[in-house]
Structure 1
Amino acid sequence: MEKTALILVDIQNDYFPNGRMELHEPDKAAANARKLLDFYRSKNMPTFHIQHIFNDPNAPFFAPGTEGIIINETVAPLEGETVIQKNYPNSFRETTLLNQLQEVGTEHVVVCGMMSHMCIDATARAAVDNGFQCTVIEDACTSPDLSFRGRNIPATDVHDAFMAALGSLYATIETADSFLENATVK
């Protein structure tokens, strides 16, 4: 079995109720991410928490020094777990993620977090472009409603469209339960 690493992207307080950029059902996505995190912790497998902090103190969300940048308690890193800060949607851009994945011999990344249409999409594509196999855990990801051409696009449609796009060439798309069911079978 190839060496896998879990990448939890931007599961931060600003995306939850009372945050500056509340997403669709963030608690559900975080709970599914926690299932993955518990499994990776139990197997002592590499886990990377990604934390987005904008460089601009006036950013609409994830502004430096705010409560919103804190990784949500559902998946809060334990002492010794790797936290990588980023300033862009792509978790690899201008961070140490690639080097750290290579240092532990990673061949396959499992990606989950927020937002499906932005940081998950950018990170999953970059992972594949950097030579990794990639699985995205779709029910451990979420997005907000978006608008285009004066039309509201519900968060579930945004999410589903991006999972369909990633699943066509870039990643295997699974649920937390299906992934864990297969991961525990040797």
Structure 2
Amino acid sequence: MSVDPMTQDWSEVEAALEKAFSAAMQLYTERGFAGQFGFGRRPAVVTIDLANAWTRPGNVFTCDQRKMNEEIIPGVQRLQKAARANGHPVIHVTTAYQNTNPKDPNSDLGIWPAKSPLLEMKQSDDNELWKIDSRIAPIDGERVIIKKNASGFAGTDLHNYLTSIGVDTVLITGVTASCCVRATVQDALANGFRPVAVKECVGDRIPAAVQYNLFDINAKLGDVRTVDECVDYLSTINMRNI
């Protein structure tokens, strides 16, 4: 009898990983890894793929619903509220394709369908899957960026936009930890931004994938900070002399 990874108890796996990561982090720190970039002068909140295909149940991309409903959505709501109240940009990144016929040479799918069921992500008015979850929907004037690759930076104008408004710190939320969030963190670093993965606001289909990737991001690619820390930063950065 097969076990549904979306509903099985992962607590033993997570406890074992926590123990292993504690020892691994000691090794990393002894060798000079796991430093901190710290918060900069000008932040932006970026959500990655918090669209209905990932946030709502019953879809091929659906992520862990307990974490989504109890941690990610409430946490992103707090970040958005703090950012908007203090004049910091909120940017929404989702995945969609104009031509989902993989046999058409004009398709914008690339070779992704060989690995992922992206035919579901048709960019059309009657397809709700690619649209940002209504609980954290954009308000008037906020940017919605459509990507076609894992990273929010790859093939989009996210880098140019952040640079044009003086952003140096990117608070990254969304799914999945093992793919699109991780790729966005890596590209943020490569493009000269301070990447911060917001701990409670990053998800995946398998809880252990979140745990591992946040550990690895914190060791080598970006900072992992709590939603409380990030909300405080968004709320007070305008009053600080950095």
Taking structure 2 as the reference length, the TM-score comes to 0.68
Where does the alignment leave 5 or more consecutive residues of structure 1 unmatched?
Answer: 145-154
CA distance in 2, matches of 1:122, 1:75: 22
Taking every aligned residue pair, what percent have the same amino acid on both sides? 20
- Higher strand residue share: 1
Match of residue 6 from structure 1: 45
Alignment of 1:37-56 (within 5 A): 37-55=80-98
Q: What amino acid is aligned across from residue 92 of structure 2 in structure 1?
A: H
Match of residue 214 from structure 2: 163
Number of paired residues? 176
- Residue 90 in 1 paired to residue 151 in 2? yes
**CA drift at 1:55:** 5.0
Show structure 1 runs of 4+ deviating over 6 A: none
**CA drift at 1:92:** 0.6
CA distance in 1, matches of 2:97, 2:209: 23
- Residue 62 in 1 paired to residue 101 in 2? no
What is the CA deviation profile of residues 69-115 of structure 1, one whole-angstrom value per residue up to 9, with x for unaligned ones? 11001110011111111101111111010000000011111100111
Q: What amino acid is aligned across from residue 86 of structure 2 in structure 1?
A: K
Alignment of 1:103-182 (within 5 A): 103-144=164-205, 155-182=206-233
Match of residue 24 from structure 1: 64
CA distance in 2, matches of 1:67, 1:39: 27
User: Residues 42 and 52 from structure 1, CA distance in 2 versus in 1: closer, same or farther, beyond 3 angstroms?
Assistant: same
Q: What amino acid is aligned across from residue 161 of structure 1 in structure 2?
A: Y
CA distance in 1, matches of 2:82, 2:233: 12
User: Residues 104 and 182 from structure 1, CA distance in 2 versus in 1: closer, same or farther, beyond 3 angstroms?
Assistant: closer
CA distance in 2, matches of 1:117, 1:60: 21
- Higher radius of gyration, 1 or 2: 2
The DSSP-based 3-state class of the residue aligned with 2:179 is helix
Match of 1:71 among 121, 129, 132: 132
Aligned-pair Cα RMSD in Å: 1.6
Taking structure 1 as the reference length, the TM-score comes to 0.88
What is the CA deviation profile of residues 129-166 of structure 1, one whole-angstrom value per residue up to 9, with x for unaligned ones? 1011111102111001xxxxxxxxxx111100000010
User: Which piece of structure 1 moves more, 17-26 or 163-172?
Assistant: 17-26
The DSSP-based 3-state class of the residue aligned with 2:178 is helix
CA distance in 2, matches of 1:112, 1:90: 12
CA distance in 1, matches of 2:225, 2:120: 29
User: Which piece of structure 1 moves more, 95-104 or 18-27?
Assistant: 18-27
The DSSP-based 3-state class of the residue aligned with 1:67 is coil
Residues 82 and 234 of structure 2 are in contact (CA less than 8 Å); yes or no, is this contact kept in structure 1? no
- Residue 36 in 1 paired to residue 36 in 2? no
The DSSP-based 3-state class of the residue aligned with 2:92 is strand
